[in-house]
Every structure is written in C-alpha cells, then in structure tokens.
Amino acid sequence: MTEHLSSTEHLSSTVLNALVDGELAAEQAAAAKEHLDHCSACTSTALHQALLKTATAKAGQRYQVPSQLEQRLRRLASSQAVDAPDLHRNADTTPWSMRRFISPALAVAATLLIVAMSWFPIQRRMHTSELASAQQAALIGEISDLHIATLAANQPPEVISSDRHTVKPWFQGKIPFSFNLPDNLPSDTKLDGANLTYLHNRPVAQLLYSIGRHHVSVFVQENSGAREQHPLLAEHSGFHVSGFQTSDLEVIAVSDVDPVRLTGLVRIIEQAQTAH
C-alpha cells in the first residue's frame, strides 16, 4: 500500500478494502481513521464493506467434506507419515491397525507392475539398456502414482501371524512351490502375516513384514526361468524395491524403509532359502 492518504479526500475503494482486510500499514490506517472521523459517507461505506466481508465469510463456509473423502485422504496422508517415523508420533491419530496395511497395499501395486513389466515378453524385445532404463524410470514414476492411488484398497492379510510356522503351512496347497521363512529376524523386524495373490493366473505369496514402523511386502513366485536375470533395485518417492532369484524362486521386496535395511531383510530371506 503506497497510496497517499489525505484526510480531506474520500477513501478509494482500494483503501477501503485494505482497511476492512486489515492490510493497511499503521500510518495509513491512522490517516484513514482520521478521515473516517469526520466523513460520514466514507464511514458508511467502510462499515458496509466490513459487513459484506463478514457476511461473505459466513456464506462462503458452505460445503462439508464428505466423510468418505476425509477417510480416504486421512489414510493417504498418514502413509506419508510412515516416511518420517521419528517425528510427530504423538500427533498420529490414525489407528495402527489401519496404517498397518497401507504399505503392503502400495507394495502390491508396485510389485505387480514391476513384475508384470519385467515378465512380459515385451521386455525381451528391449535390446538397448537405454530403452530399458527409460522404460523403468517411466514405470517407476507410474508406480509411484499408483502407490498412492491404491491406498483406498485397504485390507488385512489373509493370514495374520508372526509365526513362520503358521504362515508357511498356510500356503500349502495354495501355491505349487515351497519356500523357507527365516528363523531369526533383526529385533525391529517382524512378520505380520501373508496373502495369496495372483499374477498372470499364477499364484504368488505375499509376505508382510514390518521393519520398525515401515511395512515391507515380499513377493515370492516360482521362477519361470523364462526371463533374463537382471538386478532389481529401484527407488522412487521413498519406495524401494529389492529382490533376488534362486533357481526355483523369484523374490521381490517393496517398502518405504531405507534400502539398506530392506536389502538386509531380502538377504536374510535369501539365506533362508539355502539353509535347508
């Protein structure tokens, strides 16, 4: 507000607006008040402006957030909180049971996409690494979008157990392959449960782990052997993907935990496959 104010001139609409909006500097406000003290026309207009502003403020408060939208966005926003586990824990109002399955839900989407892309025949037609890496970068970008969008799909695991002797047998008869679950996990890592999912009509075991407050999905599938092996380590928007292959299995893990710890868990699972 640089406009010159004189006590004898009527206040301009800009000054009147700035007055009711509380945007006049102290000096300008004082000059305006001095004018208003002896100008009933401007006082009336200023009062009117103030009333209009107040009425507009009230009339403008019109729409209530639908509870369904609020819940959806609450879940969505809390997924981000998982990224910063050391902060604002007390302010975290989302029930733990709700947030528990967010990361796995994201991970499902991420992994399905990654796996689908890399297992698809189209992948084999990519001869140049440039094409492959561009494709992967684009894919990971897509995955990141899908991650968040898939948050609404929020379901508990089919088998809820931290006991590997409960989780592993649960898959018997459900999948045409077998795998080992590691005995000793690091102290902050635990098994939450597992799901049976399908990928291209083939069953896939989805193991749900927690590392601290971060959630990890580990997908285990029979190694089709039809695919070239290439390293799978990706990172985008805080999500990391890591994996390994044996002659029988293909394993891919997804999480927002830091990649060192994710890779640590993957390595433990990898070692469990050779231990028996």
Partner 1 sequence: MTLLPWTRKPAVREIRPGASVFEDLALPLLPALYNVASWLSKNPTDAEDLVQETFLKALRGFESFEQGSNFKAWIFRILRNTYLTSRSGLAALRTVSLDEELAEQADSGPTLYPEGAIDRQTPEINLIRLTDRAALQRAMEQLPPLLLEVVLLCDVEEMKYKEIAAVLDIPIGTVMSRIARARASLRTLLDTDTGLKRGSLA
Which CB, 218 or 232, lies closer to partner 1? 232
Q: Does 106 bind partner 1 (CB under 8 A)?
A: no
Site for partner 1 in 16-55 (CB under 8 A): 16-18, 21, 23, 41, 44-45, 47-49, 51-53, 55
Minimum separation from the CB atom of position 162 to partner 1 (A): 25
Site for partner 1 in 171-200 (CB under 8 A): none
Give every CB contact of residue 211 below 8 A, 6+ residues apart in sequence.
Answer: 186, 188, 189, 255, 257, 261, 262, 265
Determine the size of the site formed for partner 1 (CB under 8 A). 78
Residue span binding partner 1 (CB under 8 A) among the ranges 64-72, 125-133, 155-163, 196-204: 64-72
Residue span binding partner 1 (CB under 8 A) among the ranges 105-113, 169-177, 192-200, 247-255: 247-255
- Which residue in the set 34, 39, 72, 126 belongs to the binding site for partner 1 (CB under 8 A)? 72
Q: How far apart are CA 4 and CA 92, in angstroms?
A: 51
Q: What's the Rg (C-alpha) of the chain?
A: 30
- 49: amino acid identity, one letter: Q
Token pair of 262, please?
Answer: 């994710």
- Which residue in the set 154, 156, 259, 268 belongs to the binding site for partner 1 (CB under 8 A)? 259
- Which residue in the set 40, 60, 187, 201 belongs to the binding site for partner 1 (CB under 8 A)? 60
- Which residue in the set 107, 249, 252, 253 belongs to the binding site for partner 1 (CB under 8 A)? 249
Is 255 in contact with 214 (CB distance < 8 Å)? yes
Q: How far apart are CA 140 and CA 159, in angstroms?
A: 29
Which CB, 195 or 261, lies closer to partner 1? 261
Minimum separation from the CB atom of position 83 to partner 1 (A): 5
Angle (CA) 118 120 132, round 5°: 45
Closest CA to 158 of 169, 150, 175, 170: 170
Is 269 in contact with 252 (CB distance < 8 Å)? no
Site map (CB under 8 A) of partner 1, residues 213-242, x = contact = ----------------x-xxx-x-xx-x-x
Would you tell me the crossing angle of helices 40-60 and 13-20 to the nearest 10 degrees?
Answer: 50
- Which residue in the set 38, 122, 134, 145 belongs to the binding site for partner 1 (CB under 8 A)? 145
